[in-house]
Amino acid sequence: MRTELGMVLSGSASRCLRRCFLVLSILAMALFALLYEELGKNSLFSLGLSDTQCCSVSSNVNNSLGTNRQVFFSSRLRFSSLFLFGNVALPPSGAPLRSDDTSDFNPFVSSIFQRKLERKTFWEKQLRSFEKTFIVDGRWRLFADGLAVTLGITVASTVLGTFFAFIQCCMRRSTRRWLRYPAKFYIAIMQGTPILVILLIMYYVVFAKFQAPWGLEKEIVATISLALNFAAYAGEMMRTGVDSIDKGLVEAARALGFGRFQVFSKVIFPIATRRIIPVYKGEFISLLKTTSIVGYIATQDLTKASDIVRARTYEAFFPLVATAIIYLLSAHLLASVFAYMEYRLNPINRRKRAKGEVNV
């Protein structure tokens, strides 16, 4: 009972403190606004200007500079901020301010004042930036072509890397040393060397003689480099997946008269595939994001396309944010494909489909 009463009291006390803090904050803001207004008034009156003269002079300045925008600060505060900079020549009391009188202003102050008056709103700037990034000169096609190159390199590297990974898995599980040790050495090199360095070595050293005029495309070099790096990790996934299978299943299959190929295709491969798909999916998504480095060898992928647009428009927000969103959507779409494969390979779901409990 005491505990519940204490909780109620503490809750009511905290609410009371929050309300008091809110009221004090509002009062402090109002006091600050009054002090700021009084400071601006004193700075104007200290120059010998009346309230009517200050307002008339400020309106004449707005007309002389040719602005019809809404001014967010009062005339007193704006002119008090200008007077703080000094070197401001004012006309005699009651005389209007001519357009040529703006030359008497401090150049630094007048330039700041001009920029403030001609400043565009936030949404107008964003709309103009969007048009420059995607609409003008059909620059959206650069993003579309870059996305096609990125997805093509990703899929081709995955297929080729999976083939290399299977060979590496067989070599790692071999009982012969002359097969097992080269596979270990290959894995150590790939896992210990940055993928960007591998890409540059493959392009500028290994395949340097196969470039123009023979016409070996940069996309092919990028695909081979990424596939070799992908194989080093995917091969270890395959090896651990195969080694995790109970040996009793293999012995039972051989006791039933299955050959080595039948044991692999009907027992080892389905179980190992179901176990490695989750980590294989993560490596595939990582490969998709790794393709962003192929621009170092002048391959116009999605990231390189955003760099080209950014260099042409001098805009960084929309090109980079759009690139990040496209990568995010592509990764989730491809991950959903692997999630569907994982669902289809699950034996529990297969039994439910056989019984008619699941329609998918």
Domain range summary for the chain, segments of one domain joined by +: 69-117, 135-355
Sign of torsion over alpha carbons 209, 213, 214, 220: positive
pLDDT value for 104: 47
Rg for the chain (alpha carbons), in Å?
A: 35
Q: What is the pLDDT of residues 284-331, one digit of tens each?
A: 999 999 999 999 988 889 999 999 999 998 888 889 999 999 999 999
Single-letter amino acid, residue 303: T
Structure tokens at 217: 């495309």
- Mean pLDDT, to the nearest integer, of 165-189? 92
pTM: 0.64
Q: For the chain, how are helix, strand and coil distributed in percent, rounded to 5?
A: 80, 0, 20
Of 225, 231, 232, 228, give the one whose Cα is nearest residue 297.
225
- Mean pLDDT, to the nearest integer, of 223-245? 92
Cα–Cα distance for residue pair 199/196, rounded to 1 Å: 5
- In the block, residue with structure tokens 């194989």: 231
Q: What is the pLDDT of residues 57-111, one digit of tens each?
A: 444 444 444 443 333 334 434 444 443 344 444 444 444 444 444 444 445 445 5
Q: Using the predicted structure, report yes or no on whether residue 112 has a pLDDT greater than 70.
A: no
Structure tokens at 158: 């995955």
Cα–Cα distance for residue pair 153/81, rounded to 1 Å: 58
Q: Average pLDDT over the chain, rounded to whole?
A: 75
Higher pLDDT, 85 or 231: 231
Ranking 191-195, 325-329, 350-354 by mean pLDDT, the lowest is 350-354
Single-letter amino acid, residue 96: P
Structure tokens at 159: 């297929």
Ranking 114-123, 196-205, 348-357 by mean pLDDT, the lowest is 114-123
Question: In sequence order, which residues have a C-beta less than 8 Å from that of residue 358 and are 6 or more positions away?
Answer: 349, 352
Q: Using the predicted structure, report yes or no on whether residue 20 has a pLDDT greater than 70.
A: no
Cα–Cα distance for residue pair 287/330, rounded to 1 Å: 12
Ranking 6-20, 62-76, 152-166 by mean pLDDT, the lowest is 62-76
Going by pLDDT thresholds of 50, 70 and 90, the confidence category of residue 54 is: very low
Cα–Cα distance for residue pair 360/357, rounded to 1 Å: 9
pLDDT value for 159: 95
pLDDT value for 166: 93
Structure tokens at 74: 């009062």
Residue 276 near residue 241 (C-beta atoms within 8 A):
yes
Surface-to-core class of residue 207, CB atoms within 10 Å of its CB (0-12 exposed, 13-18 middle, 19+ buried): middle
The DSSP-derived string for 154-182 is HHHHHHHHHHHHHHHHHHHT-S-HHHHHH
- Mean pLDDT, to the nearest integer, of 46-52? 45
Q: With the CA atoms of 188, 193, 194 and 197 taken in that order, what torsion angle do they form, in degrees rounded to the nearest 10?
A: -140
CATH number for the domain formed by residue range(s) 135-355: 1.10.3720.10
pLDDT value for 165: 94
